[in-house]
Amino acid sequence: MTNIYPDTLQFLREVKENNNREWFAPQKHRYVAARENIGKWLGELIAMMKQSDDRILTNPPRGVGRIYRDIRFSPDKTPYRTYLGAMVFRAPEDRNCEFYIHFEPGNIFAGGGIYMPDSAQLKLIRDDMAYSTKELEKIVKKPDFKKYFGEVSGEKLQRAPKGFSPEHPAIEWLRFKQFLVLRSFNDRQVLQKNFQEEVYKTFQAARPFFDHIDRALNFKE
């Protein structure tokens, strides 16, 4: 079992303090090592997840993100991200929730959901939630869900979405524009031997919620 190395986090701390090309150039080997460390760790996690969920993609087109920022149209010209993100995908990749692990010292978390649904996806999700509220409430009240995530987060509309009454019993769910769950870890926890297992438990706790969203996204009229 691969652990996250102390220098993986230390490198990211130093990037935040020295976000310039002059510092980065002689440190690039540490970036390569950090990305390989997380990549190997992620591969083992995916294999573990695949054993209980055959929708997990074992050879995803994207895995560990790159550290280089696209600064062409950004007022922030710092060239590097101060984090590395790792994605886990489930089939069908373009119509489901995604699982994500964020490696940033002082802001490390695992979770996911659907971050930027388009209007068609939102309609499918809301139409489903409008009649499946009781089912959804049972999911988010499960002990592991409450323990790891507390509640669902994400941006919300100020008012009822078009086509729904402000008095609808599911109005608090229907106002969501994003559907996200998040479990935070401290830097010390990430370096422990059981971190991979804890992230796996996080996915298992999130999976019923993901399945609920995915059901709506994969609905075919």
The tokens for 21 are: 């090309």
> Is the domain 6-217 a CATH 3.30.930 member?
yes
* Sequence-distant (≥ 6) Cβ neighbours of residue 86 within 8 angstroms: 38, 39, 41, 42, 63, 64, 65, 100, 101, 103
Buried b or exposed e, range 28-48, using 16+ CB within 10 angstroms: eebbeebbebbeebbeebbeb
Say what the pLDDT of residue 92 is.
Answer: 80
pLDDT digits (tens, 9 = 90+) for 182-216: 999 999 999 999 999 999 999 999 999 999 999 99
- Helix (H) / strand (E) element for 202: namely helix 195-217
Q: What is the pLDDT of residue 220?
A: 52
Q: Residues 69, 83: contact at Cβ < 8 Å?
A: no
Q: What is the pLDDT of residue 198?
A: 98
The answer for residues whose C-beta is within 8 angstroms of residue 209's C-beta and 6 or more apart is 97, 113, 139, 140, 145, 152, 179, 181
Q: Please give the helix or strand (H or E) that residue 180 lies within, else none.
A: strand 179-185
Report whether 113 contacts 178 (CB < 8 A): yes
Q: What tokens appear for 153 in the block?
A: 């987060």
The domain locations on the chain are 6-217
Low-confidence ranges of the chain (pLDDT < 50): 221
Q: Is residue 98 within 8 Å of 179, Cβ to Cβ?
A: no
Place of tokens 């573990």: 48
Token code pair at residue 69 = 């920022």
SS3 103: strand
Closest CA to 210 of 136, 127, 124: 136
pLDDT of residue 218: 83
Q: CA gyration radius for the chain?
A: 19
pLDDT value for 174: 97
Q: pLDDT tens across 85-110, in order?
A: 999 988 887 678 999 999 999 999 99
- Pull the structure tokens for residue 197: 């297992």
